[in-house]
Homo-oligomer: A and B are copies of this chain.
Amino acid sequence: MKFARNAQSLDASYIREILSAANQPEMISMAGGLPASSLLPVQLIRATCESLADNHHLFQYGSSQGYEPLIDTMKQQSQHSDKPWLICNGSQQALDLIARALLEAGDNIVAEVPAYLGALQVFQLTGATICPLNSDTAGPDLNQLEDYFKHHNVKLFYCVPDFHNPTGRVWPRETRIAVAQLCRDYDVTLIEDAPYRELRFAGEQLGYVSDLCPEISIRLTSFSKIGFPGLRVGAMNGPTAFITIAERIKQATDLHTGIPQQAIIHALLNHAEFEQHLTRLRRGYQERYQCLSRELTQQLGDQIQFDTVEGGMFVWLKLTQGDSAEIAARALQHNLAVVPGAAFYPTDTALENHALRLNFSNTDPALFPEAVARLAKAL
């Protein structure tokens, strides 16, 4: 059996490998990007699950675009109601459909680096090249971005402006305006991936970047962080010409996203207590973040440095010394799973050897003192 070249180039995800190790009983895992299992809003979908078997029509083939009531819900929440939606198997599939609709071998795309490698992987599967964009707490380097747009014939710019994975950063308002203008000026498609946006527990919520350049932007919505990752339902919103092509690819790929799972997400989003659930979730994550933050400062002091985060699931921990891959390996021996910074850089990119990503959403707050003590041993 001979395999396609691009397929062979695909490594198993380092993070998902760590996740397997993280399942061991004594392990404290801060490696994944899992929402808190204890805060999954199962009570809000109980009635819908109980009546599923009475709704035969949900179990028959459905439409490639998605379950109509769910699409209606998404439209109602949109500022640009003329931009159509496509329901996908999680926003991960939206990334794959974008890659297949837009990219060809030799195309250039820009992405903030470090980045969510699950996105870069699907872009690279098409043979596209990633132009790595530097960023700091003020957002991406706008001069570098314009330089790429001007000289590298860039097809799309992939970004996570709210609670970026792995850095936890949020773009300030003026950066959002400037990026939207640059995308317009150079006719570059903006891909705004917003899975963590609803997880803000401090500070002020800012507008979507994609709403500032609706005609050239695609937005990804995830129901995995505010709802249920296990169902694999997400959505994407973009210009009609794009959604038409993406829907055809979706149809060829797997016909449509399953209907019962879309009906469950629809019920969740429309439940009277959904806002209360979000409030509870944000408070829960704030408490976890505060515990972690306190322990890091108290136990590790000047061995580490990290920027305050106002939401999301991650802290990007910078080490004043030591190689982060070695430290992560040692932490694993002490039954603590964390991801070294190198896992968030595409191959052949200059990388940060002194950072770790710590996930705080799926760890019991009472465990943080012990988790950080284990990290201290590894350091």
Contact = CB atoms under 8 A, between A and B. Distances in A.
Interface of A: 1-8, 10-13, 16, 32, 34-35, 37, 40, 42-43, 45-46, 49-50, 52-54, 56-62, 64, 88-90, 92-93, 96, 100-104, 118, 121-122, 125-126, 155, 189, 216, 224, 228-233, 239, 241-242, 245, 248-249, 251-261, 264
A112 to B, nearest CB: 19
Nearest to A51: B49
A239 B49 contact: no
Task: Give the dominant DSSP class at A's interface.
Answer: helix
A182 to B, nearest CB: 16
A230 B260 contact: yes
A121 B248 CA distance: 11
Contacts of A254: 88-90, 92-93, 96, 232
B121 A229 contact: no
Contacts of A233: 258
Contacts of A61: 32, 34, 224, 229-230
A131 to B, nearest CB: 17
B53 A52 contact: no
Contacts of A49: 49-50, 52-53
Contacts of A155: 2
Nearest to A12: B248
Nearest to A89: B254
